[in-house]
């Protein structure tokens, strides 16, 4: 038996990447100590949205990773989900699951969305930015809650 055969590959045994990536998010984003929370509170909504955009895209990329496909197919699926219009729709579906403090983070993110692409309605851009702000905030402060909300996303399956 070769060393490769001796090590089981958990990656290939995954039923769906959603559970895998949610586990990775909670594994890598440790809940911060109380004194670190003060620093997170000082971050601008734009900074949180910047981080939240990356967290969301990583989740979406991981979600569509299996079954294996051509890279161009991955790309089209991911782009469809990370567009501002799709993020705004995701926010609308998540809103009933949000707490009062999370709604406050959304408000801060919405108010921080100043510039926008010309093709977008300002309200759509604000909603997408507020979702990214929430995801960035939760990634830093409560990764378990982030993972919980990510499982509520209504994503297309192929």
Distance between CA atoms of 63 and 65, rounded to whole angstroms? Answer: 6
Q: Are 141 and 31 in contact (CB under 8 A)?
A: yes
Reported as a single tens digit per residue, the pLDDT across 18-69 is 565 666 666 666 666 556 777 888 899 999 999 999 999 999 998 888 888 8
pLDDT score of 11 more than 60:
no
Q: Are 62 and 17 in contact (CB under 8 A)?
A: yes
Reported as a single tens digit per residue, the pLDDT across 71-114 is 999 899 999 999 999 999 999 999 999 999 999 999 999 988 77
The whole-number pLDDT of residue 124 equals: 93
Residues acting as catalytic residues: 53
* pTM score over 0.75: yes
Domain borders along the chain are: 3-150
The answer for 56, left when phi > 0, alpha when psi is -120 to 50, beta otherwise, is: alpha
Q: What is the largest CA-CA distance in the chain?
A: 60
pLDDT score of 1 more than 60:
no
Distance between CA atoms of 52 and 32, rounded to whole angstroms? Answer: 17
The whole-number pLDDT of residue 78 equals: 92
Distance between CA atoms of 122 and 133, rounded to whole angstroms? Answer: 16
CATH superfamily of 3-150: Ribonuclease III domain (1.10.1520.10)
The whole-number pLDDT of residue 5 equals: 45
Token output for 113: 């969305």
Q: Are 50 and 136 in contact (CB under 8 A)?
A: yes
Please list, in sequence order, all residues whose beta carbon lies within 8 angstroms of the beta carbon of residue 92, skipping any fewer than 6 positions away.
127
pLDDT score of 3 more than 70:
no
Identify the residue with better confidence: 70 or 14. Answer: 70
Distance between CA atoms of 153 and 105, rounded to whole angstroms? Answer: 18
CA dihedral of residues 44, 80, 91, 133 (deg, nearest 10): -10
């Amino acid at each position: 038996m070769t060393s490769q055969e001796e090590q089981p590959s958990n990656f290939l045994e995954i039923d769906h990447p959603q559970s895998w990536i949610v586990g990775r998010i909670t594994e890598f984003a440790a809940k911060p100590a109380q004194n670190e929370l003060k620093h997170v509170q000082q971050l601008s909504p734009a900074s949180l949205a910047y981080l939240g955009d990356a967290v969301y895209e990583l989740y979406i990329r991981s979600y569509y990773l299996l079954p294996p496909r051509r890279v161009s197919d991955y790309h089209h699926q991911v782009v469809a989900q990370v567009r501002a219009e799709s993020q705004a729709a995701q926010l609308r579906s998540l809103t009933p699951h949000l707490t009062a403090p999370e709604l406050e983070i959304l408000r801060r993110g919405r108010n921080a969305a100043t510039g926008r692409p010309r093709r977008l309605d300002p309200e759509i851009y604000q909603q997408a930015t507020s979702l990214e702000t929430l995801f960035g905030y939760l990634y830093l402060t409560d990764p378990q809650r982030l993972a919980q909300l990510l499982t509520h996303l209504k994503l297309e399956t192929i």
